[in-house]
Structure 1
Amino acid sequence: MGKGVHDAFPEAREVFEQANSDLPISITELCFEASDERLLLTENTQPAILTVSVALHRILEARGLVPNWVAGHSLGEYSALVAAGALDVATAARLVHNRGIYMQQAVPEGAGAMAAVLGLERAEIDNLCARCGSDLIVEVANVNAPGQVVVSGNTEAVHQLIAMSKEAGARRAILLNVSAPFHCSLMQPAAERLARDLVEVEFEDPRFPVVCNVTATSIATGEAARLALEQQVTQPVLWSDTLEFLSEQGVEVFVEVGPGRVLSGLVKRTLGRGVGIYAVDEIEEIEAVLAALG
């Protein structure tokens, strides 16, 4: 993950060095040499993805491609705040490493689950969640696009929700391969532990606006950034609302930086084909987006 850009661009190597400086693990070893099993541990996945994402942003920015707005999905909110100058790379890498540990430890293994529901809207799924029983927790975790919602909670409740969604007419309702039930109230122990870390961090005011996962409105101050990162551990990611908000601000071109193209697909699903969408992960894609937008 990220070796090509690391080797090709000094800006990327600098980001990797900064991320390594305050971690008990080696980001370069994780990204370039670790087994898939080790890399997929959430306390390793989170700083690895953050590092690669920030490195790609720095490469583009050094060549004149500076965003007017930034947003990140869940973990990506940290990358967005680094891009905007609210956090430095080393601090963000340490925070997300700890965040991964806290999330994994918040719920016993096997006691939580997540599922994606396609073909129903949030209001319908909220109603189904409310019918799953007062002794169980299942909540909306991500509103990714119209008709694409993720739920999170106790394993039994998530399985109930899958069955109920299919009965209610969902096109698909599938269990996700995740290690913990993220973005629901079961993560409260993780949120409390992370809050103690966040209060020790000095956040700067972002140099350009960041759209908050929890509110789908802009973060203008360092203190608002701190609160957003604490709240998002237990609250849903309002991604489709975030995209709609950006569109309302006049944003017409979206550049996804980081591994994969999931967010690009969600932009297309939410806003249609009337916007420019670019995904940047490899050297060739950097060259292509600079040629198109630089």
Structure 2
Amino acid sequence: MGKVAFLFPGQGAQYVGMGKEIADEYKSASKVFDEATEALGFDVREMIFNGDDETLKITENTQPTIVTTSIACMQPLLEKGIRPDFVAGLSLGEYAAHVTAGTISFKDAVALVKKRGKYMQEAVPIGVGAMAAIIGLENNDVIECCKEASQVGIVEPANFNCPGQIVVAGEKAAVEKAAELCKAKGAKRAMLLPVSAPFHCSLLKPAGEKLAVELDMVSLNDIKIPVVTNVTGETVTNKDFVKDLLVKQVSTSVLLEKSIRTMLDAGVDTFVEIGPGKVLSGFVKKIDRDAKVLNVENLETLNKALEVLV
């Protein structure tokens, strides 16, 4: 086996009951939910295991609960001595990557992402912003359509996920115009997404500024495992760059495809998506069909992953 990367999901992957099977089976995983409760001042376990979709969907709940679940689901792998060569995450997932790399303590990370979620939601009033997924167009075509649609308002590429799948974000009318232009250019689909804010575009700069104040109060540790960052798609190994990257990440494009290619080029052949859902696994397969892709979110997927990794 070549090198192994751990990947952590972003917002939208959440569901009621995520991580419960692993927490019930592994004390180390269960303890993570207790630590999150202590850090956040509300019963995280109750919200995730017995709550409802609407509560979990609130951005300032979604972000800490996904990070908590991801870190909990990783514990059995660490117990078995499985350590990644690289870590990365989609947007929010980059915080779980930094926890894994030792850069940020888990308690600091969940407290930060709760505030991050709140600031992101507050930056743009509900109904003003939108996001749309564009399927089946080249990157440059989508960038051109955004430029043309920006006569209507702000619209920018938000996520470069994998070949032929890009998400755009901005003001609702401009996003709708960009989607229309993309369809006219030959996109297979251009659909508005059910999100509460236009993430990863310049409208979110005020959220980044507020997050910067919070990050200033957090002390970072040396990075023990290279983190491939959303903002550049390259590895970061020096903690001095991390705060700036996490601030920029809120209002700039997520370069996921470039991040995966960076790891492939560095010899990674096995990607383990840890936490709720399998969205990132799908992206990796579209980027490189030969890559080995595993996910860990319940006992069945954990046991399958252990068979391959141990």
Aligned letter for 2:296?
V
**Alpha-carbon distance in structure 1 between the residues aligned to 2:152 and 2:222:** 41
Aligned letter for 1:119?
G
SS in 1 for 2:231: coil
Q: Considering only aligned residues, what root-mean-square deviation do their CA atoms show, in Å?
A: 1.0
Q: Is the 8 A contact 2:152 2:174 kept in 1?
A: no
Q: Is the 8 A contact 2:152 2:173 kept in 1?
A: no
Q: Report runs of 4+ in structure 1 exceeding 3 Å deviation.
A: none
2:90 corresponds to 1:86: no
Partner of 1:31: 48
Q: Deviations over 1:162-213 (max 9, x none)?
A: 1111000001100001010000000011000000001111011211100010
Aligned equivalent of 1:194, options 191, 203, 211: 211
2:119 corresponds to 1:63: no
TM-score when scaled to structure 2? 0.93
SS in 2 for 1:264: helix
**Alpha-carbon distance in structure 2 between the residues aligned to 1:133 and 1:27:** 41
1:133 shift after superposition? 3.5
2:289 corresponds to 1:282: no
Aligned equivalent of 2:155, options 138, 150, 166: 138
Aligned equivalent of 1:238, options 238, 241, 255: 255
Partner of 2:275: 258
1:134 shift after superposition? 4.0
SS in 1 for 2:168: strand
SS in 2 for 1:131: helix
**Alpha-carbon distance in structure 2 between the residues aligned to 1:257 and 1:220:** 21
**Alpha-carbon distance in structure 2 between the residues aligned to 1:25 and 1:135:** 42
Aligned letter for 2:298?
E
Partner of 1:21: 38
Q: Is the 8 A contact 1:204 1:221 kept in 2?
A: no
Partner of 2:119: 102
Alignment of 1:37-76 (within 5 A): 37-76=54-93
**Alpha-carbon distance in structure 1 between the residues aligned to 2:104 and 2:33:** 15
Partner of 1:228: 245
Q: Which runs of 5+ in 1 are unaligned?
A: none
Partner of 2:140: 123
Q: Is the 8 A contact 2:39 2:107 kept in 1?
A: yes
**Alpha-carbon distance in structure 1 between the residues aligned to 2:85 and 2:178:** 39
Matched residue pairs, number? 293
2:185 corresponds to 1:185: no
1:50 shift after superposition? 0.3
TM-score when scaled to structure 1? 0.98
1:30 shift after superposition? 1.1
Aligned letter for 2:56?
L
**Alpha-carbon distance in structure 2 between the residues aligned to 1:141 and 1:215:** 13
Partner of 1:172: 189
2:52 corresponds to 1:3: no
Q: Deviations over 1:54-111 (max 9, x none)?
A: 1111221111111011110100000000011111111100000001100110001100
**Alpha-carbon distance in structure 1 between the residues aligned to 2:150 and 2:162:** 27
Aligned letter for 1:152?
A
Sequence identity percentage: 43
1:24 shift after superposition? 3.5
**Alpha-carbon distance in structure 2 between the residues aligned to 1:236 and 1:25:** 32
Q: Which runs of 5+ in 2 are unaligned?
A: 1-17
1:25 shift after superposition? 2.6
**Alpha-carbon distance in structure 2 between the residues aligned to 1:124 and 1:148:** 12
Aligned letter for 1:275?
A
**Alpha-carbon distance in structure 2 between the residues aligned to 1:132 and 1:292:** 47
Which moves more between the two structures, 161-170 or 58-67? Answer: 58-67
Aligned letter for 1:261?
K
**Alpha-carbon distance in structure 2 between the residues aligned to 1:186 and 1:288:** 42
1:26 shift after superposition? 2.0
Q: Deviations over 1:219-258 (max 9, x none)?
A: 1122222121111000110000001110000100111001
2:98 corresponds to 1:114: no
SS in 1 for 2:268: coil
2:40 corresponds to 1:12: no
Aligned letter for 2:292?
G
SS in 1 for 2:158: strand
